Chain A
């Protein structure tokens, strides 16, 4: 069993209630942070921990916190990004649903570090039953003196408010989230100014993912240096992976980022192997936006080395032969899955979720969906593959926010690694409607250049 810092108590009966959570050692980090530390020393510990944003971008949290402006007389805000919407990702939901007090504990400590007296949790609207769980936990924490006015007699005031979104993937982008929190359409803002300078209501704001904020709790409890000893290299601490697709045991797992991808997929402690004893064909290891990899490049790098479940190893080889850890949304595809169809559903997703502000994304995502639809339905031509490649190139890097990149990458990677499957579809318009390209050579050992 690997180290568990977040989900250690997840199976304790009644852990959702304040009473049980507290009895199990909960809220110690609030006592330590508010009574023995100051905001600067908390930021220092987070920097030392090496914690990187768990929402997908992997930006160092301590550094992000240190950017927050502190103009005299202007309130600052911490906003928790619970707009989990990246296909394949359902880890924050698990944390909020089963360990609401862990999130609140992390939020209180982080609010103290950032000087936020009014902290907001922006949760995707579809998670409609979770605000009730969070609000009940907030009331319990308030009654116990951990929230509200003069917390633990330290003079620090903090209220946490939960706001539901309206159904828009784009609101996971931090400036779109802020716009939405202000009651507007989720159109991302042009940066600069960054939220740390002008965010919610033009006040200094930090937006952090649910898992990132929960990880503050073990960091304060054990100290940043101890936290940094877990994991490997710049992948410190633990990471939640939400595993789905054609595996025996889909679910949310906490890993310490030292295990191999192969162990994660085949070990009974995690995914438990491919469903029905089938063969692994491909995997999207970090949420739908990150490049899909064929089985051989997933398990080993292009250099023939074992690939591990961490930021560095998963991105080894860049986009040519690697992918990303991203949000930890781990989507496994077995030998019977069609890469063209899978890419089509993702292209449709991004077309649906584009906010429409930037032409390359608004128009390009629609084009990609239509062309993929043609190919999938036996009406494609060879030039369509090059056209798809051309469109994704013209979207990437040419939009205000990263949704454009997120839409371009899955299409690019599918063509890069599975071009022959696209060609097969085009060359076999009728056969491809009733059968699949199958596994082919995608799991064959990699040829490592001498």
Chain B
């Protein structure tokens, strides 16, 4: 894997940096890390962080300290689809425990693990701001809300189908 943006990604990088005043390009760090994660297999190895540092002309440590602080940056490889299931109060009282148990059972993985086929990772997260539509999980950019066991089955089947087609 080569950690260099292609032309489309570089154009997006330039658009992100242009939002800030001259000399304040470091401000673009969080959005650029999102871009890098999306561009490079869903996670950020040290090489990717160093690349981001070089693009923004800041020290690598400035990137490391940010990448390790925020919960959305994956510093280890993850599956193609990351199930980020909310477990905070409002989701818990609406039944998130049984959804988490069910996902563990059907995918045979524990939180933090990835299925052997590399398709699914289970991650337990804190409040995602969907409390009225609980239980819920985030998969990529999308929120899957009002979860039931049947809905979880359907979601897994759908992603398996998409992955098989590609």
Q: Which residues from chain A sit less than 8 Å from chain B, CB to CB?
A: 75, 84-90, 93, 118, 120, 124-129, 161, 163-169, 180-186, 201, 242-246, 250-252, 284, 288, 329, 331, 333, 337, 341-342, 345-346, 348-349, 352-353, 355
Instruction: Return the contact of B24 from the options A163, A201, A329 (Cβ within 8 A).
Output: A201
* B129–A89 CB distance below 8 A: yes
CB contacts under 8 Å to A, within B66-101, are 66, 69-73, 87-90, 92-94
* B131–A90 CB distance below 8 A: yes
Instruction: Return the contact of A345 from the options B33, B62, B87, B138 (Cβ within 8 A).
Output: B87
Q: Given A125-B72, A346-B88, do A166 and B33 touch, yes or no (CB 8 Å)? A: yes
CA–CA, A85 to B28, complex, Å?
A: 21
Instruction: Return the contact of B131 from the options A88, A128, A346 (Cβ within 8 A).
Output: A88
CA–CA, A345 to B97, complex, Å?
A: 11
CA–CA, A165 to B66, complex, Å?
A: 11
List the B side residues contacting A126 at CB < 8 Å: 72, 128-129, 138
* A166–B70 CB distance below 8 A: yes
CA–CA, A409 to B43, complex, Å?
A: 36
* A168–B70 CB distance below 8 A: yes
Question: Separation in Å of the B16 CB from the closest CB of chain A?
Answer: 9
Instruction: Return the contact of A88 from the options B69, B70, B73, B90 (Cβ within 8 A).
Output: B90
Q: When each residue 125-149 of chain B gets 1 if its CB lies under 8 Å from chain A and 0 otherwise, what string results?
A: 0111111111000101110000000
* B89–A331 CB distance below 8 A: yes
Q: Which residues from chain B sit less than 8 Å from chain A, CB to CB?
A: 19, 21, 24, 26-31, 33-34, 56, 58, 62, 65-66, 69-73, 87-90, 92-94, 126-134, 138, 140-142
* A161–B19 CB distance below 8 A: yes
Q: Can you report 14 A-B residue pairs in the complex whose CB atoms are below 8 A from each other?
A: A87-B90, A87-B127, A90-B133, A126-B129, A127-B129, A163-B30, A164-B34, A166-B30, A168-B69, A180-B30, A183-B66, A346-B89, A352-B71, A352-B126
CA–CA, A348 to B92, complex, Å?
A: 12
CA–CA, A353 to B88, complex, Å?
A: 12
* B94–A245 CB distance below 8 A: yes
Q: Which residue of B lies closest to A181 (CB)?
A: B27
Question: Separation in Å of the A442 CB from the closest CB of chain B?
Answer: 15
Interface centre among A93, A126, A355 (most CB of B within 10 A): A126
* B69–A90 CB distance below 8 A: no
* A183–B126 CB distance below 8 A: no
* B65–A342 CB distance below 8 A: no
Question: Separation in Å of the B92 CB from the closest CB of chain A?
Answer: 5
Question: Separation in Å of the A339 CB from the closest CB of chain B?
Answer: 11
Q: Which residue of B lies closest to A284 (CB)?
A: B89
Task: Given A120-B19, A163-B27, A201-B21, output 6 extra A-B contacts at Cβ < 8 Å.
Answer: A126-B129, A164-B30, A184-B66, A288-B89, A288-B90, A331-B131
Question: Separation in Å of the B99 CB from the closest CB of chain A?
Answer: 14
Q: Given A87-B90, A342-B93, A352-B126, do A244 and B72 touch, yes or no (CB 8 Å)? A: no
CA–CA, A87 to B28, complex, Å?
A: 27
* B72–A250 CB distance below 8 A: no
Q: Which residue of B lies closest to A129 (CB)?
A: B141
List the A side residues contacting B138 at CB < 8 Å: 126
CA–CA, A129 to B27, complex, Å?
A: 21
List the B side residues contacting A90 at CB < 8 Å: 129-133
List the A side residues contacting B129 at CB < 8 Å: 84-85, 89-90, 93, 124, 126-127
List the B side residues contacting A93 at CB < 8 Å: 129-130
* B26–A183 CB distance below 8 A: yes
CA–CA, A180 to B67, complex, Å?
A: 12
* A166–B66 CB distance below 8 A: yes
Question: Separation in Å of the A423 CB from the closest CB of chain B?
Answer: 22
List the A side residues contacting B28 at CB < 8 Å: 183
